[in-house]
Chains A and B, each alone.
Chain A
């Protein structure tokens, strides 16, 4: 069964520093996608970054990078040079498609607070 685990309920980081948000997953499907979303207090789920299971290189999008360790089944999000606007809830999610519906399964989320 699909499972996403985010073990950090809350994190603090100083403005301009880097922070890593942890995510581990469990799947028996060889083809899957891993996503990170940001959810500010307004409620919208904002797509940040995607990593495919067959991708050889770690994904990067601006200040966001995904540390993908396939053997360990981990997909940690790294935010460099944190900004006050990064304060939000962050969700890791996984999508399988083989014999499945392609739905996203979400973790419990990590609340990030950036301190000035």
Chain B
């Protein structure tokens, strides 16, 4: 079974530029998550989708971050314009669905962003 796929793996951009990250979840997983992990900290949820609907985007900085999951499968996270403090690893994850506490959330390898 293929895992969660993410690209690009690494990205370096200048502040005020834009960047987009792509994620393809595990086949059949209805719930998709984007987490931000700053170096030395635990991941923080940015946005959660159930199929193509948003379940939670309370911690997404909506003035600069946007995300979509148009067909309920793969997803794109965009940052525009980027700030220095956006330097982090962006982790995409998926699970069968969110209503069962036992459904494991599986993560991709992450997209490392450096803003200079």
Contacts and interface: CB of A to CB of B under 8 A. Distances in A.
Contact of A101 (B40, B56, B100, B103): B56
A53 B98 CA distance: 16
Interface residues on A, range: 20 to 34
Interface residues of B, number: 29
Interface in B69-106: 89, 91, 93, 95, 98-106
Contacts, number: 74
B101 A103 contact: no
A104 B33 CA distance: 10
13 contacts: A33-B101, A35-B105, A43-B89, A43-B112, A45-B91, A52-B102, A96-B101, A101-B56, A102-B103, A103-B98, A106-B42, A106-B43, A108-B41
Interface of A: 4, 31-33, 35, 37, 42-47, 50, 52-53, 91, 93, 95-97, 101-104, 106-109
